Amino acid sequence: MIEASRDAMVLKPSVHGASGEALRRRLNRRHLLISIGIALLFHILIVLGFWLVDRIRVQDIGDWSGPVLVKIGVQDAPDSPAVDPGPLPDQPEESEQPDIPEESLPETAPEAAPDSSTPLQPETSPDSTRPEENQPEAESSIPESRPAPPPQPSRVNGEEDGNSYEMNFDGSEGDVGRAGAYEYISSYMPLPLVLEASLVEGIVGTTMMSPDLIRGELESYYMEEVGGDYSKKQGPAGIIPMQDRPYYWSLIVNYLGYKLEDADWRTYGMRPVVVEFTVSPSKGPRGADLSDITLKTRTNNPQVDDAVIYGLSRWVYYNDTDHPIKGRITYRFDR
């Protein structure tokens, strides 16, 4: 058994530990509030000092300093109101003019009274005698009313696949003209007689148009020769209808890489095709119809002439008048 020694120190909990900690926190909070208050007071004093300096400083207005004196009236008016001088003294009576003998007065001719029958003419100066000479010509002249310019004739110019055309109508642009062209005239030209084997073998297909499908479409009017070339079938079986030609032209140009410059129907020195026609009045949304189509100038290939006429009839026209209007197209082969 261990006995406690008399001289041993017994540690007891401090009675003042919690209260001392609270006192220290309270003192720190007070010091903090005092510091914040001093800082705010210091800033307020600085702002107040700037405000006082701004209020008491002298502002310069123009070339003058200090108060501004505003005068109302004439420029040379005195700074202070003038003293009332009082009533004015009586003015002396008009002195009578000395009598002058009538003999000494020069004789003057009596002024002629103006005739009431003749109007008085104002005095004129050399500068005002001819006002039209002193004023600009633009001010003195009266603008003449000119007739409105005649309406411009309706005309359409265009180019397509190396060809060009010009259309003219016997009416103004607001009355008659071409409303739209869905296909080129060149897309109705005769297709090649022979497609080389290199073109057919190099068909570039797509997901929608495979090479076999394109080749099958061509075999409707073409047949494969011994060397691999594709030639048109003999007789009516090789004649592609006019309305189907744009489709087959798109196949051989877009998928076979055929060059339009090498088309069979192109020959050197082809004459322009000139066609005259009549545009009937419009019939609602479908537009106007063509009639009296006449071929005035031909080429050396009747199939080319027919293609120009057919392509011309496929375009859309308008005629907002109540009578037919003549038209004319010149189709040129620039090559």
Sequence-ordered list of residues with C-beta below 8 angstroms from that of 200, at least 6 positions apart, any chain = 215, 218, 224, 228, 229, 230, 256
The percent of residues above 70 in pLDDT, for the chain, comes to 67
- Contact 275/329 with Cβ under 8 angstroms? yes
Lowest average pLDDT, out of 10-19, 203-212, 238-247, goes to: 10-19
Secondary structure of 220-233 in HEC code, one letter for each residue: CCEEECCCCCEEEC
Q: CA geometry: angle at 258 spanning 205 and 274, to 5°?
A: 130
Concatenated DSSP letters of 93-142: PPPPPPP--TTTSPP-PPPPPPPTTSPPPPP--GGGS-HHHHS-HHHHSP
Which pLDDT value is given to residue 5?
44
Sequence-ordered list of residues with C-beta below 8 angstroms from that of 270, at least 6 positions apart, any chain = 299, 300, 301, 304, 333, 335
Which pLDDT value is given to residue 60?
59
The rounded mean pLDDT for the chain is: 78
pLDDT top residue among 335 and 300: 300
205 C-beta neighbours (distance < 10 Å), count: 13
pLDDT top residue among 285 and 294: 294
Which pLDDT value is given to residue 90?
59
Which pLDDT value is given to residue 152?
78
Lowest average pLDDT, out of 4-8, 263-267, 270-274, goes to: 4-8
pLDDT top residue among 308 and 162: 308
Reply yes or no on whether the pLDDT at 187 is more than 80.
yes
Concatenated DSSP letters of 246-264: HHHHHHHHHTS---GGG-T
User: 0.85 cut: is pTM over it?
Assistant: no
Over residues 142-152, mean pLDDT: 67
Over residues 247-258, mean pLDDT: 94
- Contact 241/233 with Cβ under 8 angstroms? no
Reply yes or no on whether the pLDDT at 100 is more than 70.
no
Question: What is the C-alpha to C-alpha distance for residues 270 and 301, in angstroms, rounded to an integer?
Answer: 9
Which pLDDT value is given to residue 61?
55
Over residues 37-45, mean pLDDT: 92
Which pLDDT value is given to residue 11?
43
SS3 148: coil
H helix runs in the chain, sequence order? 17-56, 131-134, 137-140, 197-201, 211-218, 245-254, 302-314
Lowest average pLDDT, out of 93-97, 191-195, 204-208, goes to: 93-97
Model confidence band, residue 206 (pLDDT cutoffs 50, 70, 90): confident
- Contact 329/274 with Cβ under 8 angstroms? yes
Which pLDDT value is given to residue 79?
57
Question: What is the C-alpha to C-alpha distance for residues 291 and 114, in angstroms, rounded to an integer?
Answer: 87
pLDDT top residue among 230 and 99: 230
